Chain A
Amino acid sequence: MENASGNAVKMDQCIDRIFREVLENISSDNLMNSQTRNCLKMCPFSLLMMKIEKIVRIRVVPQFWSKFNNSINKDSKEGFQDFTDSVDELYENSKKFISVIDRLKESISCVHQNCEFKSDQLIKHVRHYIQGTILSQIPLQHTIIIEQFYKTAFNVFCNIEALQQPCDFPTNNELIICEGCKQEKKNCRCQVIVNIFHKTNEKLIDLGLLERLSGSVLTSLIHIRIKNYVFSVSCNSFNQSQIGNLEHWLDTVVMNWLVRIYTGGSSKMAGLPDKFRNAISTFKQKLSYFLYETYTRVRIQQLFNIILIFPDSQPALDDLRVCLKKNDLRKYLISNLQFNVKTRLLHPGVSTPDILTTYISAIKALRQLDPTCTLLEIITDPVKLYLRGREDTVRCVVSGLLNESNANNLANEIMRNKPINQDLSSSNDTAQKDSNNSTQTKKENWENWQPDLIDSENEFDLKPDLKSDLKSSLFGIYSKITPCKAEPNSAVISKNENSDLISMLVNVYGSQDLFVNEYRSLLADRLLSQLDFQTEKEYRQLQLLKERFGEQQLLSCEVMIKDLCDSQNINNNIHNDQTYMSHFKAFDTSALILSAQFWPPFKEDWKLELPAVVQQQLQKYVLAFESFKANRSICWKTHIGNVNLEIETQDRKLTLNVSPIHATIIIHFQDKNEWSLDQLSEVMHVPTTVLRRKIGYWVSQSLLIETSNDVFVLVDKLDPDNSKQFTDLTQNILEDDEDIDSAMASVSDQREEELQIFWSYIVGMLTNLDSMPLERIHQMLKMFASQGTGAVECSLAELRQFLDNKVKDHQLLYSSGLYKLPKS
């Protein structure tokens, strides 16, 4: 302070001297003037200006900046003080210049005709000169103490504001340190700081330096504040819209502060000159843009999570849609979401049902963001591609579609979207019963939603939120209404929604055929593993799929289910057949008789040889069938089926349901209590690898034990020491709980087989043309191999896969983009 006051004294002296010098100069000039009026050398004001400019340049401005330079090690309290002092000093000095000008104006007036310093221009000129010089001498480090000044004040304001807000958290009143000024509470300087702050700003405004000196610092401080605030309100909460809140916050808290800066303390804008009002409103526009941009970026970064929990995140998504209209962050959105999808979704650690569920959510959510679906395609294309590469995708889709339990999310997702369709085909009596209850509810809802859904196609643009709200609430209601004869309207709606969802899933493949094929394999497995002739559920699901894919596609599935019904009929008839019944029956026999042409191909690398006693009994059944259905016969798939066994050992009695292979194994051990794997494999015609796995079941039942390598012995009586453990084991396993191997060849196996027909063509081509690229082979195949009925379509990708497998098997060579045959 001493230094500052010393400076002030010096400055005063300095200015007095200028004044005197100018006056002297003028008087001598005037002498000359009286004689030769036209040769006045110097306008007195120009002279004054020159002197003032020099002082400003050499003394005032360097002095002003001097505190800014050495500010690196200062704390914010010192910085605050330094800035205040510097501004004060500058302000005082400029006042002095003005006063000296005023004094000069009183004592003299310029006689020049076109003096460039009309008296009212003088003050303006000094101001501009100070402003210009300040900026021209701006030091590198100048922002440090400016920041400290505004930060200190900002803290105080935030604290005051926080104290005024109704607080969610219990504030710690015991704090000794004031949150605002960081001083001990008893010495709180908050009010002092506020006062100084306003005074300083006022001076800066007066000097015309507020925006130039503090603008960028202010802006960055407010930006930080905006960022923090946006993060705090939108962090991990997706179920609330924040736009209104953010706008309000900007309008009140931030703008309040800004207005106070411009008014030097008042919160009212009314008294401000237009210049400042415009400045404030421009500032506000920029801040509002920044606020939206920040919020948009946050929501974009959260978009993957928003999709994961959609539709619970509907408010956040709505916000994002609004925000995207205000700025151009689509590219950022795309790259960010793509990155997240790639790193968080499309990797081996995520289960296929989870990927499918996310895929569906993404479709629903992104459609709302961008009704044109461009965004949707960009984002979901890699997902589709990835899903296509996963072996279990179709199976997951189908089982999700058919899974009636709420076991997984995908099933839930699907169930939520097919409330009525599925029940359409259910029995009529339940329908009658329930329709009475639901009519009332239906009617009320019907009145509400009908008008909105009529033009649902076009409405996406106009009122997306309204529509989706309606829809979700609608389906929420409908999914609770159990069977009823659907009114035409409701049927249409649920069908659209449902088929839409199925097409999303089928779209992953782009091919209905593949999807239907996989469904057929799945249905086959289910029917064969149940073997209880209960087909109601399957039939209902089939009806559901038929609505989507059409009768033709699913014809074979219908025959498959019909086979089960027919089989039951045949069994009943045979069991009433006197001839069959009068013969000795080794055991109760029934058969599931399949129409082979309509079932997926069976895996038949080997054919299980059944024990003689079983063969004889099954042959009797064949004869009975032949006499029941003229000109037809049946052929047993010996390894598929379900056998109920009663096993009695010296110390145990078990009743088990097992597969024919398991039954055959244990029956062989009844005849001979020790078998080597090879012997048994020979008798049963089953490969040793398969056999070993199946024997494992009996070992786990402690009926067999491996005494030496590949030699198994019957355990007719348990070792008393181990018996307890063994009986515990057997009680748990009442049924064959081994994972049921699919009896069907997988779809990709089937496809591989189909493609084999191309192989001879390819070999022919390569024999004649030596070597060819993939595309050429594909073209040639299209020309030669795809003619006639039953032509097999083959995509380029499939062909590549097929050829690459051939390369692996050393049937082909591949180098520098060309396939060729190995030299034999």
Chain B
Amino acid sequence: MKVTIKSWRGVATWRWVANDDNCGICRMPFDAACPDCKIPGDDCPLVWGQCSHCFHIHCIMKWLNSQQTSLLCPMCRQEWKFKE
């Protein structure tokens, strides 16, 4: 007997490759959207800081905007710089 696979339609789940499950700001899972967004993924991406912490982009932007003086990572209090 010879079995030939003509096509394979599989089902998979996607996830962000990050060193944590939840956003440290909104506490939502990274794979879900931030509280301001309805749709996860491209519409509500993650960003990484040079300190290697990452957040929903909308969450860190909100955080940074709320800071009066210096811009610090809310997790490690190091100066926040976007990772290139």
Interface of A is mostly: mixed
Which residues 695-712 in A have Cβ within 8 Å of B in the complex?
703
Asked if residues A716 and B1 are in contact (CB atoms below 8 Å), the reply is yes
Given contacts A596-B31, A648-B1, A670-B1, contact A588 B14 (CB under 8 A): no
Number of A-B contacts defined by CB within 8 Å: 149
Given contacts A592-B12, A660-B10, contact A614 B1 (CB under 8 A): no
Query: Does B11 touch A at the CB level, under 8 Å?
Result: yes
A669 interface hit (Cβ, 8 Å): yes
Name the interface residues of A502-545: CB closer than 8 Å to any CB of B. Answer: 528, 531
The chain A residue with its CB closest to the CB of B38 is A555
Instruction: Known contacts A555-B38, A633-B14, A633-B15; decide if A591 and B6 are in contact (CB<8 Å).
Output: no
Contact yes or no, A587 B5, CB < 8 A: yes
The answer, yes or no, to whether B26 is at the interface (CB within 8 Å) is no
Task: Give the interface segment out of B39-47, B61-69, B70-78.
Answer: B39-47
A636 neighbours in B (Cβ, 8 Å): 10-12
A643 to B7 CA separation, bound complex (whole angstroms): 6
Q: B2 near A596 (CB under 8 angstroms)?
A: no
Show 8 A/B contacts (Cβ-Cβ < 8 Å), sorted by A: A566-B41, A566-B42, A591-B12, A595-B41, A640-B10, A647-B2, A663-B3, A663-B8
What residues on A are CB-neighbors of B48 within 8 Å? 631
Tell me the complex Cα distance, A636–B4, Å.
Answer: 21
Q: Is B29 an interface residue (CB 8 A)?
A: yes
Contact between chains at B4 and A634 (CB < 8 Å): no
CB-nearest residue of chain B to A646: B4
Could you tell me which A residues sit within 8 Å of B by CB distance? 528, 531, 555, 558-559, 562, 566, 586-599, 614, 617-618, 621-622, 625, 629, 631-638, 640-650, 655, 660, 663, 666-667, 669-670, 673, 703, 714, 716
A597-B9 in contact (CB<8A): no
A717's nearest neighbour on chain B, judged by CB, is B1
| B51 interface hit (Cβ, 8 Å) | no
Q: When chains A and B are docked, how far (Å) is the Cα of A647 from the Cα of B4?
A: 6
Smallest beta-carbon distance B12→chain A, Å: 4
Instruction: Select A634's contact among B2, B5, B14, B40, beta carbons within 8 Å.
Output: B14
Given the complex of chains A and B, what is the CA–CA distance between A648 and B5 in angstroms? 12
A647 near B1: Cβ-Cβ < 8 Å? yes
Q: Which residue of A lies closest to B29 (CB)?
A: A597
Bound CA–CA A635/B29 (angstroms): 17
Residues of A within 8 A of B38 (CB): 555, 558-559
Provide the residues of chain B in CB contact with A621, threshold 8 Å: 10
Q: How far is the CA of A666 from the CA of B48 in the complex (A)?
A: 46
Please name all residues of chain A whose beta carbon is closer than 8 Å to the beta carbon of B5 when the two chains form the complex. 586-587, 614, 643-645, 663, 667
Could you tell me if B8 and A596 are in contact, using CB atoms closer than 8 angstroms? no
Q: What are the residues of chain B within 8 A of A646 when measuring CB–CB?
A: 3-4, 6
Is residue B16 contacting chain A, with contact meaning CB distance below 8 A? yes
Q: Are B13 and A595 in contact (CB under 8 A)?
A: yes
Least distance between A567 CB and chain B CB atoms (Å): 9
Given known contacts A558-B38, A595-B40, is B17 in contact with A631 (CB within 8 Å)?
A: yes
Q: A596-B31, A631-B18, A632-B16 are in contact. Are A591 and B2 (CB under 8 A)?
A: no
Are B12 and A635 in touch, CB under 8 angstroms?
A: yes
A633 to B14, CA, bound (A): 6
Docked complex Cα distance between A532 and B7 (Å)? 13
Q: Do B3 and A670 touch (CB < 8 A)?
A: yes
Chain A residues near B46: list those with CB within 8 A.
631
A587 to B41: give the CA distance in the assembly, Å: 28
Q: Find the A residue at minimum CB distance from B41.
A: A595
Tell me which of A590, A629, A632, A669 has the highest count of chain B C-beta atoms within 10 A of its own C-beta: A632
Contacts of B41 in A (CB 8 A): 566, 595, 629, 632
User: Which of A641, A655, A673 has a CB less than 8 Å from the CB of B10?
Assistant: A641
Closest 4 CB pairs of A and B: A587-B5, A596-B13, A597-B32, A634-B12
* Cβ-defined contact, A596 with B3, below 8 A: no
Chain A residues lying within 8 Å of B7, measured Cβ to Cβ, are: 587-590, 643-644
* Residues in B neighbouring A566, C-beta threshold 8 A: 41-42
Q: Which B residue sits closest to A648, measured CB to CB?
A: B2
Q: Smallest CB–CB gap between A737 and chain B, Å? A: 18
CB distance from B55 to the nearest CB of A (A): 13
The 8 A CB mask of B16-32 against A (1 = contact, 0 = none) is 11100000000001011
Question: Would A588 and B6 be within 8 Å (CB), given that A632-B14, A635-B12, A641-B11 are in contact?
Answer: yes
Are A645's CB and B40's CB within 8 A?
Answer: no
- Contact B3 A667, beta carbon cutoff 8 Å: yes
* B17 CB, nearest partner CB in chain A, Å: 5
The interface centre, meaning the residue of A528, A589, A599, A714 with most chain B CB atoms within 10 A of its CB, is A589
**A597 x B2 contact (CB < 8 A):** no
- Nearest CB in chain A: distance from B2 CB, A: 5
Decide if A593 touches B14 in the complex (CB within 8 Å). Answer: yes
| Given A558-B38, A595-B31, A641-B10, also A632-B3 (CB < 8 A) | no
Tell me the complex Cα distance, A617–B8, Å. 10
Q: Are B10 and A587 in contact (CB under 8 A)?
A: no
Neighbouring B residues of A588 by C-beta, 8 Å: 6-8
Cβ-defined contact, A641 with B13, below 8 A: no
CA distance A649 to B38 in the complex (A): 51
Q: Collect the chain B residues with CB atoms within 8 Å of residue A595's CB.
A: 13-14, 31-32, 40-41
User: In the bound complex, how far is the Cα of B9 from the Cα of A645, in angstroms?
Assistant: 12
Tell me if A618 and B10 are in contact (CB < 8 A). yes
Report how far A737 CA is from B31 CA in the complex, Å. 35
Residue of B at shortest CB range from A527? B11
Q: Given A631-B46, A636-B10, A642-B9, A714–B31 Cβ distance below 8 Å?
A: no
Q: Which of A531, A588, A593, A597 has the most CB of B within 10 A?
A: A597
Given A594-B12, A648-B1, 14 more contacts at CB 8 Å?
A531-B9, A559-B39, A566-B41, A587-B6, A590-B8, A617-B8, A622-B12, A634-B13, A635-B14, A637-B12, A640-B10, A660-B8, A663-B8, A667-B5
Shortest distance from the beta carbon of A603 to any chain B beta carbon, whole Å: 13
CB neighbours (8 Å) of A667 from chain B are: 3, 5
CB contact under 8 A between A598 and B32, given known A587-B5, A643-B7, A716-B1 = yes
